[in-house]
Amino acid sequence: KKMKEKNIHGRIFKKLREERGYKLKEVAGDVISTRTLTRFEADETSLSIATFEKLLKNCDLDSFDYLIYYVENTEIETMEFSKRMKSYIESGSSAEIVNECMKELKKSDIKFSERLDVLNFMQLIEWKGSSELFDENKRIIKEKIESTSKLGWSEIYGFIHLINSASSEDYSVEYIDKVIEDCLQNIPIRNALSKNLGVAYCDLLVVSLSFLSRNGYYKLVENRCKQTLNIFNEQPFLLDKTKYSIDVIEILAMVYLCQNKKEGVELANKVLKYRNTLAESINNPLYKQKKDISYEKFCEVNKTGIDFEF
């Protein structure tokens, strides 16, 4: 297999090599010629993954080291657009965000990661307008994600945005259940990389369970929620385990309350008590807002006639 995004990897590898003080000849070794390495670093050619791993070894690095460095440096390259967008968000300039995102989508050389950025910012401002550009962007992202067997971080979060606003017409219950199964298999912690990737899969899992819940697949979502909580309990090193457990318990509570089951009140009280304690201990209005939203959602679907206590 050849490395993708050759226009990024060569440049970043050169920066990494020079920062570590290695000369071209030292790194090329007996793996490739210095001329080929020079061409790679100039983004004029690509290398096989096996060859690239040998070059990393000659720099006393492994693939994980490079991945961390790669993510940090590619983020720097896209920071200008993100900084501009964040400043607009802070100032409440939704119109500016829409205009900037439209400009990005009109570029002939737009990368998939930039398409995901646009989707992310449009979701953040909860834009309800209509645009063929944005619809086309969502379609391209949806098709790319559905054809990819192993998702990366940005793809997972792009997928989260798609599912979060999707209806049963966009995705079948069988497809979402398959996504949940993939999440459950990718959450377990195996190494430092999977520890961080596990968090992304937890976020995807929560929106997928919510999809099933709001579309009325109560029995399926109940079974999947219980299965998820069992897996969480078996993962002592899962980041934000308590937060994700509460999110899943909240979905399960909603499912029970919709069906007039008293267990829903018990679970809702647990969620509200946790969110209330968090809001009181951390001076951040977002936590209080989240507790209030949870309370309102529970009240809307509560068919038991029993009041919540927290």
Q: Which of 292, 297, 254 has its CA nearest to residue 276?
A: 292
pLDDT of 21: 92
The tokens of 109 are what? Answer: 């050389």
237-279, pLDDT tens digit by residue? 888 999 999 999 999 999 999 999 999 999 999 999 999 999 9
110-145, pLDDT tens digit by residue? 888 888 888 988 888 878 888 899 999 999 999 999
**Helical ranges in 59-191 per DSSP H:** 63-91, 94-105, 112-124, 132-146, 153-164, 173-186
Whole-number CA gyration radius for the chain: 23
22 phi/psi in degrees, rounded to 5: -95, 140
pLDDT of 226: 97
138-187, pLDDT tens digit by residue? 999 999 998 887 787 778 888 999 999 898 999 999 999 999 999 999 89
48 phi/psi in degrees, rounded to 5: -70, 155
Q: Return the H-helix or E-strand segment holding 125.
A: none
Residues 198/162, Cβ–Cβ less than 8 Å? no
pTM above 0.85, yes or no: no
Q: Which of 206, 208, 199 has its CA nearest to residue 175?
A: 208
Question: How many CA atoms are closer than 13 Å to the CA of 285, on its beta-carbon side?
Answer: 0
Q: Is the pLDDT of residue 230 over 80?
A: yes
Mean local confidence (pLDDT), 223-227: 97
Number of Cβ within a 10 Å radius of residue 80? 9
24-80, pLDDT tens digit by residue? 999 999 999 999 999 999 888 888 888 998 999 999 988 877 887 777 676 555 566
Q: Which of 200, 246, 206, 203 has its CA nearest to residue 224?
A: 206
Between CA 299 and CA 71 the distance in angstroms is 43
7 versus 305: which is more confidently predicted?
A: 305
